[in-house]
C-alpha cells in the first residue's frame, strides 16, 4: 500500500523545500565597514580556518560572520586594533546579543567563535593575553531529537520501494537515498559527496568524508545496497551527463545532487507518514542511531558509525531510547 502521494518520486521535476532557505535576520551582522586593519585580520583568520584547520566552507562562513560582528562591536566601542580587544568587549558583545533575543545555542556558538579567534590571535602575536580564556557562555539546551518508530520507518521505505517500482530515474534515486541514510546514519553532506568508488559492495561498506575531512568506513545493509545498485544500473545512466563526474547521486540535470534536494525528498516522505511529522535527513540519522542502540549496539560502535568526535555527542541517543522504553512501560504495565 502506498503511503505517499503518487507524485512523490514519480516526477522528474525537482522541488526544493522552501524552509531550507530560511535565514534569521538576528544572525546577520549589521552592514558596517570594518577598519582596514581589522578587515585584514578577519581575512587572515578565515584563511587560517580554511587552510590550517581544514574547516568546511559552511563553518568558515559561520565563524567569520560571528567574528566580523564581534569586531564591529569592538569598533563601535573605539577599538580599531585587535591588540585592544579585552574581556569586557567580549562580554558586552554577548550581552548585546542576549538583549536582542538571541537563542542560547546562538550565544554559545558566538562565544566559541570568539574563543577560537582570540586563541589564534594570541598565537599570531596579535594579542599579549587571550581574553577568550575568561569568556563563559550559556550551555545550549540539548533537545532530544525526533525519531521515527520501527513501523513508521518500514512504511516509509515500503512506500519508497513502491514508487521506485514505477521506474522513474528520480524514484530509483530517492529510494536509494532514503535506504542509505537510514542504513548508515550518515550526514546529508556526506551522502551528496559520495563518489562511485566510495561504494564497496563486496565489503558492504561506504567510505565517507565527515567533518574536518575525516575519513571513515560505514557498514551498509543488503536492502540499502540493493537499492543503491538498482539506482546505479537503471536510474543514474538516464540522468548522467559529461558534467556528472563520479558522483553517486545526481540531480535532474545530471550534476551532483544538491543537499536541498535531499532534504526536500526526506521531508516529502516523512510528512505523509501516519502519525509522523516532517523531518529532514538529520532526523533519519537520529532514527538510525536510536534503532541501533535499541537493537543492542554499544555506544562506542554507534559513535564510530556516526563519526562523532566525542562519545558525549553520541550519548544523547541513550536518553532517547530510555524515554521510549519508559513510554512503552507506561502504556503496557497495569500499575505503571
Read off the pLDDT of residues 252-271 as tens digits, 9 standing for 90 and up.
Answer: 999 999 999 999 999 999 99
When the pLDDT of each residue in the chain is averaged and rounded to a whole number, the result is 85
Mean pLDDT of 103-115: 90
pLDDT, position 16? 42
| Whether the domain at 31-134 and the domain at 144-332 fall into the same CATH topology | no
Contact 153, 285 (CB under 8 A): no
Contact 239, 252 (CB under 8 A): yes
Q: Higher confidence at residue 30 or residue 17?
A: 30
Contact 206, 199 (CB under 8 A): yes
Q: Higher confidence at residue 328 or residue 41?
A: 41
Q: Tell me the catalytic residues.
A: 187, 211, 282, 285, 308, 317
pLDDT, position 332? 77
Map out the domains of the chain as residue ranges: 31-134, 144-332
Q: Higher confidence at residue 30 or residue 244?
A: 244
Cα 160 vs. chain centroid, distance in angstroms?
A: 23
Q: Higher confidence at residue 84 or residue 137?
A: 84
User: Tell me: the pLDDT tens digits for 20-69?
Assistant: 333 333 344 446 889 899 999 999 999 999 888 878 788 889 999 999 99
Mean pLDDT of 83-109: 92
What separation, in Å, do the N-terminal and C-terminal C-alpha atoms of the chain show? Answer: 36
pLDDT, position 235? 96
What is the pTM assigned to this prediction? 0.64
Half-sphere exposure of 267 (CA within 13 A, CB side): 14
- Look at residue 63 and give its three-state secondary structure: helix
pLDDT > 80? residue 19: no
Which residues face 206 on adjacent strands? 199, 218
pLDDT > 80? residue 122: yes
CA distance 207 to 249: 15
CA–CA distance from 263 to each of 40, 127, 181, 284, 306 (Å)? Answer: 37, 43, 11, 11, 18
The verdict on domain 144-332 having CATH code 1.10.443.10 is yes
- Look at residue 168 and give its three-state secondary structure: coil
pLDDT, position 160? 96
40 contact partners, CB below 8 Å, separation of at least 6: none
What is the fold, at CATH topology level, of the domain defined by 31-134?
DNA polymerase; domain 1 (1.10.150)
Contact 69, 100 (CB under 8 A): no
pLDDT > 80? residue 190: yes
Amino acid at each position: 500500500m502506498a503511503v505517499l502521494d503518487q507524485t512523490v518520486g514519480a516526477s522528474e521535476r525537482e522541488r526544493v523545500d522552501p524552509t531550507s532557505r530560511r535565514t534569521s535576520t538576528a544572525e546577520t551582522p549589521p552592514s558596517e565597514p570594518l577598519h582596514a586593519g581589522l578587515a585584514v585580520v578577519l581575512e587572515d583568520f578565515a584563511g587560517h580556518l580554511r587552510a590550517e584547520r581544514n574547516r568546511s566552507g559552511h563553518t568558515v562562513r559561520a565563524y567569520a560572520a560571528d567574528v566580523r560582528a564581534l569586531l564591529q562591536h569592538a569598533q563601535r566601542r573605539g577599538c580599531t586594533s585587535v591588540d585592544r580587544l579585552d574581556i569586557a568587549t567580549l562580554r558586552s558583545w554577548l550581552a548585546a546579543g542576549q538583549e536582542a533575543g538571541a537563542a542560547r545555542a546562538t550565544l554559545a556558538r558566538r562565544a566559541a567563535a570568539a574563543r577560537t579567534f582570540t586563541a589564534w590571535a594570541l598565537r599570531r602575536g596579535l594579542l599579549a593575553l587571550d581574553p577568550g580564556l575568561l569568556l563563559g557562555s550559556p550551555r545550549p539546551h540539548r533537545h532530544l531529537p525526533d525519531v521515527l518508530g520501527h513501523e513508521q520507518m518500514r512504511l516509509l521505505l515500503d512506500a519508497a520501494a513502491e514508487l521506485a517500482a514505477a521506474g522513474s530515474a528520480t524514484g530509483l534515486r530517492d529510494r536509494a537515498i532514503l535506504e542509505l541514510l537510514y542504513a548508515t546514519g550518515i550526514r546529508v553532506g556526506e551522502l551528496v559527496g559520495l563518489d562511485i568508488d566510495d561504494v564497496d559492495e563486496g565489503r558492504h561498506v561506504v567510505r565517507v568524508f565527515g567533518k574536518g575531512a575525516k575519513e571513515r568506513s560505514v557498514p551498509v545493509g543488503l536492502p540499502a545496497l540493493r537499492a543503491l545498485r538498482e539506482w546505479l544500473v537503471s536510474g543514474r545512466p538516464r540522468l548522467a551527463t559529461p558534467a556528472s563526474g563520479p558522483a553517486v547521486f545526481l540531480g535532474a540535470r545530471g550534476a551532483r545532487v544538491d543537499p536541498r534536494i535531499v532534504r526536500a525528498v526526506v521531508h516529502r516522505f516523512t510528512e505523509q507518514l501516519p502519525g509522523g511529522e516532517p523531518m529532514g535527513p538529520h532526523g533519519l540519522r537520529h532514527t538510525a542511531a536510536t534503532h541501533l542502540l535499541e537493537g543492542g549496539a554499544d555506544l562506542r560502535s554507534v559513535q564510530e558509525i556516526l563519526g562523532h568526535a566525542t562519545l558525549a555527542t553520541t550519548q544523547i541517543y541513550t536518553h532517547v531510547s530510555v524515554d521510549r522504553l519508559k513510554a512503552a512501560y507506561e502504556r503496557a504495565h497495569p500499575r505503571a
